Amino acid sequence: MSTTQSEPLTRNTVWLMAIACLVSIGSIYYNQPLLPLISKTFQVSVVQVSAVPTLTQVGYALGMLLFIPLGDRTNRQRLIVILSVLNAIVLLLIAVSPTFGWLAFMSFANGVTGIVPQLLVPFAAQLATPDQRGRVVGTVMGGLLGGIVVSRVAGGFAGEFLGWRSIFWIAAIFMVGLAIVLSKSLPAATSSVSLSYGALMRSLLQLWVKYPLLRETSITGSLFFSIYCGFWATLPFLLEQPPFELGSQVTGSFGLVGIVGTVAAPTVGRVADHRSPRLTVGIAIALLTLALLTLWQLRASLWGLLLGAVLLDLGSQTGQISNQTRVYSLPVEAHNRLTTVYMVFYFIGGSLGSWLCSYGWKLAGWTGVCTVGFVATGIALAIYWANRKQHPQKPIEHF
């Protein structure tokens, strides 16, 4: 049960995948700096409008659960192109949302169809040789992280000058263009795995039970992402209040701090290759803790928030790349299903983080948001410490 490919993984192919991740991941994050504008358009509260990023993350988790396992038994290029087209259609429907209920539902559909990056990352890992896997994953993830930066900035600027709907029209056009390029340029690799769809889905639970490493990375990854999404879901509301009173343009510009994570991604991948991805997970926990302390203590300072955002982004992305490198050390023929398990937990964590932090904001303001983050890092540290003595993973057999 091995992966077959029509051509070796070239440098150009790696960069194509990175750019595709950059373009496609924006669908999920454009809405974050626009939440105050959406709230005013439909006259809904902070807690109600938090349903937009929350449902997007829930839909993303469901989309990964439904579609990513297919990458282990079907033509990955065709699957990626089809989902790109479907996502373009959903983005158009978001742009014309007549009611908040429609927007919320289409945000969920956006998440379901917006999983293209999560097909591209394991695809790149499967095509890479073992000694280059961390570097390749880091490069493709760098594109994904760059897309998150660009999407927040673009969403904020578009919302400020063209209205919040405009960015979804633009994004739909980009997704159509991406589908055309990938249909012509992406390797048409397939797998010799011949399991039925039902058997693939059942094997997800088997993989979860069999591999302690998968369980550890899935849970800690979800905790990391809950902190990250909770911060970005509530930051716009902090910045629109005194002493800041800033609009979506500045909120979106905060996304530029993600450049740090984007630049660091390949380096983290190389460290994971040559040292230990578990070591960099520990560094991620330390960075996230320092970030939360900075955001809590310096919440009245714009520079303090910027510093905290840089540390938060660096810690979150370090943890993500490290965890994914660890997951991809497991057998290649199950990479899409391993990715499914890991990323479903990851985005469930993100949706819970957005929801819990919005309630933390309602109950105790920014202190409530930071408290949710501290609880998440505490749990991650406890899991990290409990698994400090790990045993080598057994080879996979019949999945």
CA 52/CA 47 separation, integer angstroms:
10
Give the per-residue pLDDT at 332. Answer: 72
- 381 band by pLDDT with thresholds 50, 70 and 90: very high
Mean pLDDT of the chain: 85
165 CB neighbour count, 10 Å cutoff: 18
**Quick check: 103 and 94 in contact, CB under 8 A?**
yes
- CA distances (Å), origin 117, targets 111, 169, 231, 381, 399: 12, 20, 22, 28, 24
Give the per-residue pLDDT at 349. Answer: 93
Give the per-residue pLDDT at 3. Answer: 47
Residues 6+ apart with CB under 8 A from 307: 294, 298
Tens digits of per-residue pLDDT, 331-374?
777 777 888 899 889 989 988 998 899 889 989 999 999 999 99
Threshold 0.85, pTM exceeds: no
Residue 396 pLDDT > 60, yes or no? no
**Mean pLDDT of the 102-126 span:** 92
Residues 6+ apart with CB under 8 A from 342: 214, 217, 218, 221, 323, 324, 327
Give the per-residue pLDDT at 45. Answer: 87
The number of angstroms, rounded, from the C-alpha of 84 to the middle of its chain's C-alpha atoms is 17
**Mean pLDDT of the 189-208 span:** 80
Tens digits of per-residue pLDDT, 315-339?
988 898 889 888 878 877 777 788 8
Give the per-residue pLDDT at 165. Answer: 96
CA 275/CA 393 separation, integer angstroms:
18
Alpha-helical runs (H) found in 186-275: 197-210, 212-239, 248-253, 258-274
- 279 band by pLDDT with thresholds 50, 70 and 90: confident
- What is the set of domains in the chain, with CATH numbers? 3-386 (1.20.1250.20)
- Dihedral, CA atoms, 64, 67, 71, 74, nearest 10 degrees? 180
Among the ranges 4-18, 37-51, 76-90, which has the highest mean pLDDT value? Answer: 76-90
- 395 band by pLDDT with thresholds 50, 70 and 90: very low
Residue 85 pLDDT > 90, yes or no? yes
Give the per-residue pLDDT at 198. Answer: 87
Give the per-residue pLDDT at 116. Answer: 94
With the C-alpha atoms ordered 108, 110, 112, 118, is the resulting torsion angle positive or negative?
Answer: negative
Amino acid at 81: V
Exposure string for 58-92, b = 16+ CB within 10 A, e = fewer: bbbbbbbbebbbbbbbbebbebbbebbebbbebbb
Residue 177 tokens read as: 């263009």
CA 26/CA 202 separation, integer angstroms:
31
